[in-house]
Amino acid sequence: MTQHSEHPATSPDHAGRYAGALMNTFGPPKLVLTRGEGARVWDAEGRVYLDLLGGIAVNALGHGHPALVEAVSTQLHTLGHVSNFFTTEAQISLAEKLGALFGAEHPGLDRGVKVFFTNSGTEANEAALKLTRRTGRTHLVATEGCFHGRTMGALALTSKEAYRTPFEPLPGEVTFVPYGDAEALAAAVTDQTAAIVLEPIQGEAGVVVPPAEYLAAARSVADEHGALLWFDEVQTGMGRTGAWFAHSASGVVPDVVTLAKGLGGGFPIGACLGIGAAGDLLQPGNHGTTFGGNPVACAAALAVIRTIEQDDLLEHVTVLGHKLADGLAADPRVARVDGEGLLLGIVLHSPAAPAVADAALAAGFIINPAAPGRVRLAPPLILTQEEAAGFVEAWPGILDAAGVGTGPADDPSGGGA
Ligand SMILES: Cc1ncc(COP(=O)(O)O)c(C=O)c1O
């Protein structure tokens, strides 16, 4: 990557137009991006960046992947939208495929999977939340540091005070327990609990991985009280961790899984999967959406899944993730690298993540300071060995440019999307 002398690359014109025309929910954008190819994007000044964030774990196939472009264009030419009075081959095929992938990750599964499609992660969680209400119970248990989205129901399940406080009162009774603490979970769940909701790895918190037996403990606590177990895999799902789902390796079968982000590879789509009886909780009239299950979005997701299968990307993600993590952890200013596959959290000894992200951007790399002491990487799954090696090579210089020392590590406090 070339060194970028001037930064940020938003011209005064773009910055002013953005501020004048868009609500100020995200703060000023760092760049105006004009095009992308593979794992690279270009800004309005023609500078190139290696995209190690992938639109926050979204661009699974990178930018402009021919399979995605072809699938979306063909479907749009054929049939772009139908109402939910009707269905399409793409919608049914994608629901069947998601069920088959879930089944393949859980050999011997004796229950079917049913899907409700949405346009985003937060909507997938709204669907799941309404599904849990159909148990007749209203209490939910979620975890500190979690992120489930910004709509009112998903926000009620999100622990971060700064996101919640301006919008209270939020719906529902939610108890938050420390993430990774099975005893706290056991103490919080009662016979009135509708569901436990967990990210198998907390993404927005900066890629926080729970202890090995945590998901299994959550399953047994849920079973003990007749509660549903709901895994939010919006960020971790669809190959990001080197498996179709981040919970796959645990062998734990949840009742509900929510997906979005990488599912459509950049085309907006989310999904709420109900496993076994949970798939029958929502009945006619209980929920709906105009765009969810749109054939173009479903065709995009089918193309993403097909490409991951054909190009053996799960294996690639696993191997490359290890290499990348080992390469980055070799610098003594890195405490360790957490995560799985290509969802990595670089834990620094000091709360320098924002300065590191700025230095990386100036050096031509897009990364994310998800927490003060944690840098998140969620690159396209098609990232090449050479591209990853290029970042590892540049990494010590980025830390130098950011003035990073080996001071005390900062605990993740959550943040991001
Ligand atoms: C685990 C998780 N759930 C839900 C969401 C919300 O998804 P969306 O931004 O598509 O609404 C996110 C977004 O970062 C997420 O990481």
**Which tens digits make up the pLDDT trace of 59-88?**
999 999 999 999 999 999 999 999 999 999
Domain span at 369: 321-375
Q: Is residue 22 part of a domain?
A: no
Instruction: Please work out whether the CB of residue 122 comes within 6 Å of at least one atom of ligand 1.
Output: yes
Distance CA 163, CA 143 (A): 15
What is the token pair recorded at 182? 């099975």
Q: Which residues contact 9 (CB under 8 A, 6 or more apart)?
A: 30, 31, 32, 43, 44, 45, 47
Q: Is residue 45 part of a domain?
A: no
CA torsion angle 114 120 122 126 (round to 10): -40
233 and 138 in one domain?
yes
279 and 360 in one domain?
no
178 and 89 in one domain?
yes
Q: Which atom of ligand 1 is nearest to the CA of 416?
A: 14
CA within 13 Å, CB half, 5: 0
325 and 204 in one domain?
no
175 and 98 in one domain?
yes
346 and 268 in one domain?
no
Give, using CA atoms, the residue closest to atom 9 of ligand 1: 121
List for the chain the helix, strand, coil content (%; round to 5): 40, 20, 45
Give, using CA atoms, the residue closest to atom 10 of ligand 1: 121
Instruction: Please work out whether the CB of residue 417 comes within 6 Å of at least one atom of ligand 1.
Output: yes
Q: Is residue 41 part of a domain?
A: no
Instruction: Please work out whether the CB of residue 147 comes within 6 Å of at least one atom of ligand 1.
Output: yes
Q: Is residue 146 part of a domain?
A: yes
164 and 89 in one domain?
yes
pLDDT band of 406, cuts 50, 70, 90: confident
pLDDT at residue 172 in the model = 87
| CA dist list (Å): 189 to 220, 222, 316 | 11, 7, 39
362 and 289 in one domain?
no
Q: Give the count of domains, the chain.
A: 2
Question: pLDDT digit string (tens) for 140-193?
Answer: 999 999 999 999 999 999 999 999 999 999 998 999 999 999 999 999 999 999
pLDDT at residue 163 in the model = 96
Instruction: Please work out whether the CB of residue 279 comes within 6 Å of at least one atom of ligand 1.
Output: no
277 and 184 in one domain?
yes
- Using the predicted structure, report yes or no on whether residue 16 has a pLDDT greater than 60: yes
Pocket probe mutation, ligand 1, options 148, 157, 230, max atoms within 8 Å of Cβ: 148
Q: Is residue 399 part of a domain?
A: no
Question: pLDDT digit string (tens) for 231-249?
Answer: 999 999 999 999 999 999 9
Lookup result for tokens 């606590």? 221
Give, using CA atoms, the residue closest to atom 4 of ligand 1: 148
| CA dist list (Å): 314 to 40, 243, 265, 341, 380 | 21, 6, 15, 8, 12
Distance CA 41, CA 361 (A): 12
Q: Is residue 24 part of a domain?
A: no
190 and 330 in one domain?
no
Q: Is residue 294 part of a domain?
A: yes
Question: pLDDT digit string (tens) for 278-298?
Answer: 999 999 999 999 999 999 999
Residue 239 DSSP class: T
Q: Is residue 268 part of a domain?
A: yes
pLDDT at residue 265 in the model = 98
Whether 379 and 277 have beta carbons less than 8 Å apart is answered as: no
325 and 288 in one domain?
no
* CATH value at residue 248: 3.40.640.10
341 and 196 in one domain?
no
pLDDT at residue 2 in the model = 47
Q: Which atom of ligand 1 is nearest to the CA of 260?
A: 10
